[in-house]
Amino acid sequence: MSILSRRRWFGLLGAGLMAGSGMASRAEEARPQAAPPKRSGGPEKRLDLSDYEPKSMLVVPETHVERARFPVIDVHTHISFAAVQRNGVAIGEKIKFLAEPSDLLAVMDRKNIHTMVDLTGGVGEGLVAAVQKFQEPHPGRFVVFTEPWYSRSNQPGYPQFQADAIEKAHRAGAKGLKVLKTLGLYLRQNITSGPLVKVDDRRFDPMWEVCGSLGIPVAMHTGDPDAFFLPTNRFNERFEELNHHPDWSFYDRDFPSKRELLEARQRVFARHPRTQFMALHVGNHAIDLASVSQMLDRYPNVHVEIAARINELGRQPRNARKFFDRYQDRIMFGTDAIPLPMGAGMPQQIFGDKLYEIYYRFLETEDEYFDYAPAPKPPQGRWEIYGIGLPDSILHKVYNQNAARLIGVRI
Ligand SMILES: [Zn+2]
């Protein structure tokens, strides 16, 4: 369906869509209500947005990319998680495993995935267990990162304790540190109550610093898509997703703005120039690649990866292609893959063959207007994406060379 005919189609539907989920533009909204056009064949049908699953009629080449052109390091996966969470904060050392190595390796071999980086490897005993389950028996195939001990962050002496814990985790095998959006959006002064702890809170300075001196990267997820900081209403381009996951909304209450979160993160980058940071999800600002470029130009110690953002990159393929050209030495491959059943409800992240084939298609082909997730409806905004057809020289860097250098994986 062409853009024009899509618009006309939505225009026709507009009046019939359920309240609060209309797709009419602001301009259309402002227009005085006109009487619906007379049509033959009875009254206009009503259609609930949640039932709408348009099938594209566009006839264009479809490329099936079974295996990546080069061995892949997926720098952003979750195959373990802290077992106990309270209000978005991991409590204690207990860890749960989301998959068996043998199940993962079967998919990895089929899809040409050399290494999966398990970012949420936990702390203490949990981290040791994750290293022993994945990394040690399968050297090079799995890499495990550690995380901060948030549940101790209000105790005296925490800054030094945390720095020491990173050293200990490194000795136990951790190849990096992962900081979830917990910092900035969930962790509070009394862990789960009180004011939110700022991303650039000084108590974490020794933690960032020790990662620099050990030469291990920090993978940092700060904030969330900008739409999650806006009201969940008819103008929100992620309405269906937020409606489906109301707890993903950071609108209002005492949450900082997206801008404040990113500024605090950038102050951390500036204060620790010897530490290498991975600003996950294209710096969590893929809707505005100019701003991500500015960040990369300003902080040479920062890298990005593309997990769960091909929806954004693929709807601006010309911008994205230029971005990959310019920052080809600092972009890494990531998916945010989570095995089922935990990945259920997030089709853009379910670990499996289909997920990787879509990423490969986006990076390797110039296919047009295809689904960015294996799902009947686009889960992260109602649009389709376009491939950016990277040349081999850039693909090789993005698929593995940049990550191999940063994380220390031999490939
Ligand atoms: Zn993630």
Residue 280 Cα to ligand 1 middle (Å): 8
Cβ neighbourhood burial of 4 (10 Å; 0-12, 13-18, 19+): exposed
For the record, the structure tokens of 76 come out as 């952003």
Q: With 60 as the cut, is the pLDDT of residue 34 above it?
A: no
The per-residue pLDDT for 22 is 38
- Token look-up 């998919």 returns 107
The per-residue pLDDT for 286 is 98
Q: Among 24-33, 198-207, 387-396, whose mean pLDDT is lowest?
A: 24-33
Q: How confident is the model at residue 338 (pLDDT cuts 50, 70, 90)?
A: very high
The per-residue pLDDT for 343 is 86
Rounded Cα distance, 256 and 260, in Å:
6
Cα-to-chain-centroid distance, residue 344: 16
Which residues, listed in sequence order, are joined to residue 117 by a DSSP beta bridge? 143
Q: With 50 as the cut, is the pLDDT of residue 15 above it?
A: no
pLDDT in tens, 342-395: 888 899 999 999 999 999 999 999 999 999 999 999 999 999 999 999 999 999
C-alpha closest to that of 173 among 213, 198, 142, 209:
142
The per-residue pLDDT for 26 is 45
Residue 350 Cα to ligand 1 middle (Å): 12
Residue 76 Cα to ligand 1 middle (Å): 6
CB 73 within 8 A of CB 403: yes
Cα–Cα distances in angstroms (integers) from residue 219 to residues 136, 265, 278, 405, in the given order: 21, 12, 5, 15
Residue 135 Cα to ligand 1 middle (Å): 19
Name which residue leads in pLDDT, 25 or 177.
177
Helices (H), 101-225: 101-111, 124-130, 158-171, 182-185, 205-214
Residue 336 Cα to ligand 1 middle (Å): 5
What is the three-class DSSP state of 290? helix
Residue 221 Cα to ligand 1 middle (Å): 8
CATH of 72-408, one of 3.60.60.10, 3.20.20.140, 3.40.640.10, 2.40.50.140: 3.20.20.140
Name which residue leads in pLDDT, 173 or 40.
173
Cα–Cα distances in angstroms (integers) from residue 293 to residues 42, 199, 275, 319, in the given order: 53, 21, 19, 11
Q: Identity (one letter) of the amino acid at 182? A: T
| C-alpha count within 13 angstroms, C-beta hemisphere, residue 249 | 17
- Provide the residues around ligand 1 (an ion) whose CB is within 5 A: 336
The per-residue pLDDT for 37 is 59
Rounded Cα distance, 18 and 244, in Å:
16
Name which residue leads in pLDDT, 167 or 27.
167
C-alpha closest to that of 224 among 264, 276, 184, 178:
184
Section 112-139 average pLDDT: 98
The per-residue pLDDT for 89 is 97
pLDDT in tens, 37-58: 566 677 899 999 999 999 999 9
The per-residue pLDDT for 153 is 97
Name which residue leads in pLDDT, 114 or 41.
114
For the record, the structure tokens of 208 come out as 């960032």
The per-residue pLDDT for 303 is 98
Beta strands at 80-82 and 95-97: parallel, antiparallel or unpaired: antiparallel
The per-residue pLDDT for 17 is 41
The per-residue pLDDT for 155 is 97
pLDDT in tens, 66-90: 999 999 999 999 999 999 999 999 9
Residue 342 Cα to ligand 1 middle (Å): 13
Residue 171 Cα to ligand 1 middle (Å): 24
The per-residue pLDDT for 33 is 57
Q: How confident is the model at residue 197 (pLDDT cuts 50, 70, 90)?
A: very high
Residue 78 Cα to ligand 1 middle (Å): 7
Section 269-273 average pLDDT: 98
Section 234-249 average pLDDT: 96
The per-residue pLDDT for 43 is 86
The domain segmentation of the chain, as residue ranges, is 3-51, 72-408
**CB within 8 Å of 192: residues ≥ 6 apart:** 86, 87, 89
